[in-house]
Amino acid sequence: MFAFLKNSTEFMREFAGRLVSGRDSGALADAASLCYFARTRAAYVTQKKLYEYVKARMGTSYPRNFENDDFIASMNIAKMHVFAAGLADMTMFAVANGTDRTSLSDDDRAVIARQCYVAGLDENDDGNVVPEHRDEWMAALDDRMGGAVWRVTGADEHHFTQSPKALVKWAPITDSLKKYDVDIVENSIRFAWQEVRSDFFKRVDPQAIAASWLNSGDNR
């Protein structure tokens, strides 16, 4: 019994660490720090809300499920899809607000957004789900960058449209139970993003980001 608990704990600890999260506190003053913030916060929120939902639904049977290879595979698939959606939401939010009222063009913003997204996928590439879906996810990101999307700024949740849906869709919970959870689960991740947005606005310096970008070779 004790050996099982030890093995389960070790696995869940390793599993939870597969997405690279971080809690840095410096100014967001260039594209690199902006992108780091986007991908690490997406990783943190993904892990926290996915595990919370699954654990709440499974109750005391939650640790035992980690003996099941199919469950582990389902959790890994869910984790990467929810992360991809959260990373897209965070990328759109961070770039729109991190370049607001600057001299950067929409083409500049699109380049920064793609760099942010690619960096997040590369840093958390599981060798399975990411390679299979990378092109699909990149195409979806490009679709989101049309129109006046970069003019949608502020602390509201306008950009956070995909991660709530992805969390409900991909969590390894039966559909017969999910139908009762939609509002609660989607609101749970929306609430988690509020804290992230609050932290972002305390630290972001759009003019410094723009100056750094224009002085770098990345914009060429």
- What is the rounded CA–CA span in Å between residue 175 and residue 197? 31
- What is the rounded CA–CA span in Å between residue 10 and residue 15? 8
Query: What pTM does this model have?
Result: 0.89
Domain ranges of the chain: 29-215
- What is the rounded CA–CA span in Å between residue 110 and residue 108? 5
pLDDT at 77: 94
What's the pLDDT tens digit per position in 140-194?
Answer: 999 999 889 999 999 999 999 999 999 999 999 999 999 999 999 999 999 999 9
Task: Give how far Cα 194 sits from Cα of 90, 170, 182, Å.
Answer: 11, 22, 19
What is the mean pLDDT of the segment spanning 107-132?
A: 96
Cα dihedral: 156, 138, 168, 61 (round 10): -120
What's the pLDDT tens digit per position in 87-109?
Answer: 999 999 999 999 999 999 999 99
pLDDT at 13: 42
